[in-house]
Amino acid sequence: MKDKSGFIPGGGVTSPGGFLAGVTSAGINHHKEGSPDLGMLVSEVTGTAAAVFTGNLVKAAPVVVSQRRVQGGKAAAVVVNSGCANACTGERGLRDAGEMAELAARHAGVSPADVLVASTGIIGEWLPMERIRAAVPQIALSAEGGHELARAIMTTDTVPKEVAVRADEGNFVIGGTAKGSGMIHPDMATLLCFLTTDAVVDVEFLRSALREAVDTSFNMVTIDGDTSTNDMVLIIANGFSGGETIVSGSRQAEVFRQALNEVCIYLARVIARDGEGATKLIEVNVNGATSLTDARLVARTIANSPLFKAAVHGSDPNWGRVIAAAGRSGVELSPDRLDLYIGSICLVKKGLQASFNRQEVVGLLDGDEVSVSLNLNLGNASATAWGCDLSEEYVTINSEYTT
């Protein structure tokens, strides 16, 4: 993790006060035989809660169950498994998700109504409830368990994703962990993300702040254009830090928003960098748009272009693929106003190819992180999207996922 002001070295989802986590191996994830694949995140007191879920009309059982429960604006725990999505499993899937919550509630000593459920993995398979019944009581909860939870929720991820930030002003911490590597595209990018804070937060403000953070971060990540059945971003605020309740318009509201955005953007970038088969992180900055909506749409379209992603993989400075993607985004633009940069090198000025050293651009594209900036020169709105290159390994991973 970057060593910067506010970020807690080695921090994670249990860095805020009053949060515990633990994991065990239930034999659910056949890709991780013997490794943890079932975990819990628990607040020592029931907190205010908000969540954002997949926009996919095919929603997994845990999403349906959790959507209902979080409407009340409170939660004390989430139980999560990897290896089985519990999606397209009908009434049995809903019953299994509900039983998972009951088992976790009994183990944590909280109300089942305050436990949310999350799953990730293969669609269409039943949860092995006999194994889960035996495994949940084996989960040892601790303040250090967040790091283990970050690993337990991984599927095709190659690295755990976790972070924590201490607010520059105020005495609260926001932590988080996420999983996501493939089947990721805006409209709640495909992932599971659990966020925690020991701040005292009004539930209506918490919902608003989370929605804004998701739109700025996870909804600006694209790996392959696919959205999932199981997406969830959950935040629980348990108030352990004390102090006044943070409400919209208060002095602490903007401090909280900024810290939450930092956490979510950090996790979004790590997800993009760890895209299936990825060798490079792509950051697409769009400036000069007439609206934020337009800026975001152009940035996401470019970041998700298979032709552009393949060009980045091969370090090919084929700038036409960027311009073409912007042109098909559905946003009104003027081709003769476009300025395009790779890093600090201008490739296109007012819609025409600029004079540049091709090998210098190839050198930038050879790096682990590639920055692309497109100025539409039409307004003042800007947005950033993140993606990754498209490699042969992506095809290999997704042609063998269930075998």
Q: What amino acid positions are annotated as catalytic residues?
A: 190
CB 376 within 8 A of CB 336: no
Give the long-range contacts of residues 319-328, CB within 8 A, separation 24 or more: 319/347, 319/348, 319/353, 322/372, 322/374, 323/348, 325/301, 326/286, 326/298, 326/301, 326/302, 326/374, 326/376, 328/301
Beta strand 345-349 with 352-353 is antiparallel
CB 176 within 8 A of CB 214: no
- Nearest residue to 196 via CA among 221, 162, 170, 227: 162
Angle at 146 between CA 140 and CA 149, to 5 degrees: 75
What is the rounded distance in angstroms from the CA atom of residue 189 to the CA atom of residue 218?
6
By the 10 Å C-beta count (0-12 exposed, 13-18 middle, 19+ buried), 345 is classed as: middle
Question: CB under 8 Å to 108, separation ≥6 — which residues?
Answer: 40, 42, 76, 77, 115, 141
Residues 196, 194: Cα–Cα separation, whole Å: 7
